[in-house]
Amino acid sequence: MKNTKKMDKYVQYGLAGTPELRKSEKEVFLGEFEERVVLAIDSSQVLNEEKNKQFKEKAKTGIVDKIIVNEHLNSKTRIEYMKVAKELKKDFKLVQSKSKISIVLATNQANEIEDIFL
């Protein structure tokens, strides 16, 4: 009986994929859980000079481990953020997402930051 339940579980995983925790939250924040996000920038803020300055200052902090960029940004902008990640020795990830969020600064562990939007 137990083996049948296990087999049914594996068949379901094969058909529908492995269940994912808080999938909708991760879709919004480019694959990250909200509690790992230090800063999130939406597409309307990417070209704003002041917002970019704030982004770079926040990226320099020791709490940030990675910079995640949405693939929908133009290549010139993506390359600029790749350079920032390389300069600061942060992990960089390019993801394809329908989210309005363009850039996420994230940690590898949960944090207590309440205001993650500029």
Is the domain defined by 22-106 classed in CATH 3.30.1330.30?
yes
H helix or E strand, kind and range, residue 80:
helix 75-87
Q: Strands 66-70, 91-95: parallel, antiparallel or unpaired by DSSP?
A: parallel
Q: Is the predicted pLDDT of residue 96 greater than 70, yes or no?
A: yes
Q: Which pTM was predicted? A: 0.81
Residues 24-50 pLDDT 10s: 788 889 999 999 999 999 988 888 888
pLDDT of residue 92: 96
Looking at 17-104, list the stretches that DSSP marks H as alpha helix, in order from N- to C-terminal side: 23-28, 49-59, 75-87
Report the pLDDT averaged over residues 98-117: 92
Its sign, for the CA torsion 33, 39, 42, 47, is negative
**What mean pLDDT value characterizes the chain?**
88
Query: Is it the case that residue 1 has pLDDT exceeding 70?
Result: no
Confidence band for 5, pLDDT divided at 50, 70 and 90:
confident
pLDDT at position 9: 79
